[in-house]
Amino acid sequence: MDRINVIRKSVSAFVCGVFGLLPVIGFPFAVAAVVQFILVRRRKTTDWNPAERYLDWAGVFALIGFVLTLIVVALVLLAVINQTTQSGWQD
């Protein structure tokens, strides 16, 4: 992959990673950030990537987005389970 594509994909991964910080809604963006992160890491040459920090932060943001999404989904499931068990006891 040439340097221009590495820079473009690094910045694109960063943007996806930022949107991936949104819980639940940002999940597809976090997945896209991780995919681009992996592709750039595998295909980059030994050339210097001036957007290396953007690529690194894209991976961090995607990971945080995954964790936030898991937390939100777990809290919603717990609330549903709690509501179901409470209404079941009152019947």
Classify burial at 81, counting beta carbons within 10 Å of its beta carbon; exposed 0-12, middle 13-18, buried 19 or more. exposed
Classify burial at 49, counting beta carbons within 10 Å of its beta carbon; exposed 0-12, middle 13-18, buried 19 or more. middle
pLDDT of residue 3: 84
pLDDT of residue 49: 80
pTM assigned to the model: 0.83
| Domain boundaries, given as residue ranges, for the chain | 3-90
- Residue 31 scores a pLDDT above 60: yes
Average pLDDT, the chain: 90
